[in-house]
Structures are given as structure tokens and as C-alpha cells.
Chains A and B, each alone.
Chain A
Amino acid sequence: MTKSNERKLTIARSMAEAVAQEMRVDPSVFVMGEDIGPLGGVYGNTRGLIEEFGAERIRDTPISETAFIGAAVGAAQDGMRPVVELMFVDFFGVCFDAIYNLMAKNIYFSGGNLKVPMVLMTSTGGGYSDGGQHSQCVYGTFAHLPGMKVVAPSNAYDAKGLMTAAMRDDSPVVYMYHKGLQGMGWLGTEAGATVHVPEESYTVEIGKAKVVRQGKDVTIVSLGMGVHNALKAAKTLEGQGVSAEVVDLVSLVPLDRETIRASVAKTGRLIVVDEDYMSYGVSGEIIASVTEHDISVLKAAPKRVAFPDVPIPFARVMEQYCLPNPDKIVAAWDEMKAA
């Protein structure tokens, strides 16, 4: 049942709306990427923009990621505010120098003389058999490297507010949107991502996590798609008399360690859900944020539900076996309790 004053948007549409509203008031904002013009982006997040703003400001690029992302860095240093798209995050290998050695470091290297106000938006995630070069998240890889902010919305409200905040930020922001949350019919989509989105422009603070479900027995921390898995698991647990709190990270860099610590201090138990590879990544960082601060709050060893350390397999059975899901989160709770 939708209330009459509700305005439900997909993440794709809310991203495009945020960009359009900012472009109307700020002529220095422009968009670049592959098939972001007439096609409206493979994942729909630039749909309608070229019709309103034209090909000069909504610029399709050749398949030359090193050049156009590098060019965005240059333009940003010169006072423009590029929103540039890397179609799949997996392609970062082609152009990472422009990202982590230039975009991320030139503010620091200039002693603050330069600003690099750009947004790098990129799609993440799998679950639909696209194979090992089109299904990764690599959240940890980006978040590991200093100098860029990293956000990952789980719903359309945050998606719009984060995009507006990212465009107004004078530092580079990597905006990682999950394909399975975009609301693209042909992909299958998570219904919980499509929520009410206010018409007017607003920001969602970068660096602030959200407690999206209150609970007292266990804290489940996640981001993007994982938040929906966590919420579903929390529902199942509720049926078993277990009260789970769910924290949506919203932003990986800066990371809101305070909100995580406060939640775990309350519940005493921590499960981290991450679609990125298990080792050396987000899940380990979240656990360290708690344990290095105050290990005494923990009533049990923390658990993680993450992608195993293997290249993402194509075969559906194998990929689905690897991905986090609500059942695995519930199983992690069961193990935690048994231990």
C-alpha cells in the first residue's frame, strides 16, 4: 500500500534526479562516461539527462577510461565538478592510476592548494552470472587507499542525498551503486531499495552510518545489498525471539566507527555482512574498529558473512553458493550462540 503523498523512486532514478537538480543550479557540473547519453547509462542512472542538458554537458566517451577519468581529474582541479562513470567497478584495473594516484592524492600533494571536486560513480555486485570480471564489489580496495571518500547507498533516499552531497564535496567521492538495487527490470531487483524520495534537493551526510533497525541481542553491520539481506535475516531471527540491530554503513570512508561501537556496546555481538572478498577488506576493518577499541563489550567472537577468497565463478550454483544471503546470516547467529 503506497500512501498518496509517497513518491517511490528506484536508486537509478533518484541518482539521475540528484544530478539534474544540481546541474540546474551549478553550471560547473557535467557528466561523462560510456553510454551515459542517449542510452541513459547501462544501469539507468543518467536516464533523461541528455534530453534536458544536451550532449555538451552529458558527454558520451570513447572506451578510454584512463583518458576520460584522468581528464575528469584535470577538469576538477580547474574548478569543474565532473560526475564521471566507470561502467563496472571491475574495470578499474584499466584506469586506477588516475584514480588512486592522482584523483586521491593531488589535494594532499598540493598542500591544499588544489581541490578535486569530482564524483566517480560505478556499479558493483553480482548474483546474475556475469562472471568474474563483471560481478565484483572491491569495496575494500577503494576504501583502503587514502584520499577518496567512498559511499554505497542501500536505498533510493540515501542514493539521492549522497549524490547531492558528493557533487557538493570539494574532495573526490567514489559512489558505488549495487546493480541489484538499481531497479532495472531485466536484472531483477531488491524491492526494499525503492523507497520514498522527496522531490526537493537534499543531502545525506557522507561519513554517517544509520541504525536501520533497532535490536538488543546482536548487531548486523553491512552496506548496499547486504543491508537488505541483514534486514531479512533480522526478521527471521525475530521469529525465533532474537532481537537484531542492523547498521547500514552508508559510507565506507569516512567510516562511522562511533555508531558501530555504540551498537555493539549495546548488543555485545557482531556479525558483518559484505559482498566483497572476505580477506583484507571491509569485514575485517569493522571488526577491528570494535575490538581495538574495547574488547570487553563482546559476549562472543564476531562473525563475518562475506564472499570467499576465490575469483567469482560463472555457474549460477557456484556463484549463489558464495554470495551472502539471509540464511547465512541466521546460520552465523546460530554458530555464535552455540560457541
Chain B
Amino acid sequence: MAARKTTPKPNVSSEELTQFYRDMLLIRRFEEKAGQLYGMGLIGGFCHLYIGQEAVVVGLEAAAEDGDKRITSYRDHGHMLACGMDPNGVMAELTGREGGYSKGKGGSMHMFSKEKHFYGGHGIVGAQVPLGAGLAFSDKYRDNGRVTFTYFGDGAANQGQVYETFNMAALWKLPVVFVIENNQYAMGTAQQRSTSTPDLHTRGEAFGIPGEVVDGMDVLAVKVAGKTAVGHCRAGKGPYILEIKTYRYRGHSMSDPAKYRTREEVQKMREERDPIEHVRIMLIEGKHASEDDLKAIDKEIKAVVNASAEFAKESPEPALEELWTDIYAEAT
């Protein structure tokens, strides 16, 4: 079914390729399940699915080292799963339960894990970008060699605070990779209707920040670009911009009338550019894995996702007393 050429890159091991497949599939199936739970009324409010964009986080996580940090927008489920957060805790936050990462107080858009160095989950478009610079600032201050991945969308790239941050990050040579996930749309607005020049990776030029454009449907290409970016940051050369071209298959959130693009456009992407199918074909054609191997992985993932849904249904609703906790930090 895949129409594109898939020449397995020589420098990828069977293990790594299989891991990419597994990681991306986990996100895909998790998001599909979240969509189902939403349809059943178990999840309410906003729920921004990451389906179609899986290769972006999975490729970049493969370029990251232990202790590196990440921060993103409201479209955050994939980022959390890719950095190793527990699917149960994520799903239970979507259903607003006690067992969720934020005990039901945050919801889909607001989760954090210090343990996994995931700093949110943010609902105000672009607002996470300065925070990402701040994470990188503290790393540089501590001279610990860590890098921060600061993700934002093509729509967010038009927020003023992004450019205040670019200047400061370049001025102070902060170890931050600005990852622009260009999925071509900001809610109902196609990128060309909101953006004077299409090449977002050049948006750092005026500040002396190098940037490159990356095929976000190809997890290997994303990893390679991620390595370059991270290397630049760790060498003390300051920030780096990756504009990663990707595509979201689903609506902006769950109640999207989707009149701004054709069904055919979405269908074409799914059929010809799907990032998971891409890896699946490489695995099979390169004889890294058999159909049976992949079936076993599918089954495994399904079990993990189903368990997360069960957990998210079974976990109790938060006690009302919890309303009054966590407003201020506990004294330590």
C-alpha cells in the first residue's frame, strides 16, 4: 500500500527500528483509545490527538540522553508516552481521576513529570517557549550538559514571545532545541493563510540561530536532525531550530468540523506518508522482523493501552477535599 520508496538506512539496527515501531504504535493506539473514551463520554473538554505526528517525538527522543528535558503545548500525549511516562497515569488524567498525573486537576493539556523531565502540557499557545528557555538556562547555569526540547506548532510560531525567547536564548547561548511541529494547520487556519513566509526554520536567522527543515513522517530523518541539533547545543553553541514537517490526521480537538481541508488531502497523507507504515515496511523489507513479530508487538501494545483504559475507568474520582490542596506548594 505504501507508495513511497523505503530504502532502509544502513546505520539503523533491527532493535532500534523495532523500537521506533513499538514507540510510535503505542502513541497511535493510545490516541485511538482516548478518542474512543471521549466518544463514550469518559473524557470531556479538549482532547488534542497526536495521530500522524508520532515520528516527531519518537525520533527526537532517540536523539536525547538521560536527563534531557522536554516541554510542549496541549497536544502532549505523544510527548509524554515517548519520554517514558506511564500510559495509565496519562489516560487517568484524561478521564479526570485520582490516579492521573495531576490527580484530575490538570486534564489533557496540563500534565507534568519531574522524574521524566517533562515540564508540561500548556494550554496558552506559545507560552511554553520562554519556559523552555528557562529550563535550558538552569541547565547551563548548573553546567550539567543537558539539553531542552521546546516544542511548539506552526500557529504558535506567530506569537511574539517566541521571538523574545529566540533572542535571549541566542544571546545567552542556551542549550535549547526549538522544535516547530509544522502540521500545516492551526485549528482551522492553513499555514499559508497566517504566515508571511512559509519557511519557519529560517525564523531564527535574524538572531543567528541555525535551523533546518526535517521530514517529520520519517522517524530516521528526525533522529538524524535531532542528533545534529543536540550536538550543537551540547557543544555550547546555543539554540538550534528544527522545523519538522508533519501532519495531524484528526481534528484540532474533538469537536472540529474539519471544513478547512478536504477528506482527500487527509486520506492521501495517511496512505502515502504514514510514519508507522513507513517503518513497518522497512522492518519487513529489510528482514528485520517478520509479520508475526510485528503482530506480537501489536498485541503487546494493545494490552498496554487496554490496561491504561481500564485503569482510567477504575481509578476513583478525586475527593472534593482535593480542591483545596496543591494551590500552594507543600512546605518541605
Contacts and interface: CB of A to CB of B under 8 A. Distances in A.
B200 to A, nearest CB: 12
Contacts of B109: 131, 133
Contact of A310 (B44, B46, B110, B327): B327
B260 interface: yes
A266 interface: no
Given A62-B195, A91-B124, A318 B188 contact: no
B189 A314 contact: no
A313 B158 contact: no
Interface string B18-48: 0000000000000000000000000011100
Interface string B87-129: 0000001001100001011111110000000000001111100
B107 A129 contact: yes
Interface bracket on B: 35 or more
A321 interface: yes
A311 B109 CA distance: 14
B159 A64 contact: yes
Interface string A107-138: 00000000000000000000011111110000
B187 A318 contact: no
Contacts of B320: 317-318, 321
B187 A34 contact: yes
Interface string A61-90: 111101100000000000000000000001
B181 to A, nearest CB: 14
A265 interface: no
Contacts of B8: none
Nearest to B97: A315
A129 B96 contact: yes
Interface in A264-315: 308, 310-311, 313-315
A134 B46 contact: yes
B126 A63 contact: yes
A202 to B, nearest CB: 31
A91 B109 CA distance: 15
B322 interface: yes
A35 B155 CA distance: 12
A93 B126 CA distance: 12
Contact of A129 (B44, B127, B187, B317): B44
A34 B123 CA distance: 16
Nearest to B327: A310
Nearest to B46: A130
B104 A315 contact: yes
Interface residues of A, number: 35
B194 interface: yes
A130 B123 CA distance: 10
B193 A63 contact: no
Contacts of B318: 313, 315, 317-318
A307 B290 CA distance: 58
Contacts of A321: 320, 323
Given A63-B194, A129-B107, A311 B327 contact: yes
- The A interface, classified by DSSP as helix, strand, loop or mixed, is loop
B255 A186 contact: yes
Nearest to A132: B110
Q: For A60, A90, A128, A317, which residue has the most chain B Cβ atoms within 10 angstroms? A: A317
Contacts of A42: 187
A314 B97 contact: no
Given A63-B126, A67-B160, A131-B123, A35 B44 contact: no
A94 interface: yes
B287 interface: no
A66 B160 contact: yes
B96 A315 contact: yes
Contacts of B327: 310-311
Contacts of B295: none
A314 B323 contact: no
A38 interface: yes
B268 interface: no
Contacts of B260: 38-39
Contacts of A24: none
A313 B105 contact: yes
A318 B97 CA distance: 10
B46 A131 contact: yes
18 contacts: A35-B189, A38-B188, A42-B187, A62-B158, A62-B189, A63-B126, A63-B155, A91-B125, A94-B124, A132-B105, A134-B45, A134-B123, A310-B324, A314-B104, A316-B44, A316-B96, A317-B96, A317-B320
Interface of B: 44-46, 93, 96-97, 102, 104-110, 123-127, 155-156, 158-161, 186-189, 193-195, 255, 257, 259-260, 317-318, 320, 322-324, 327
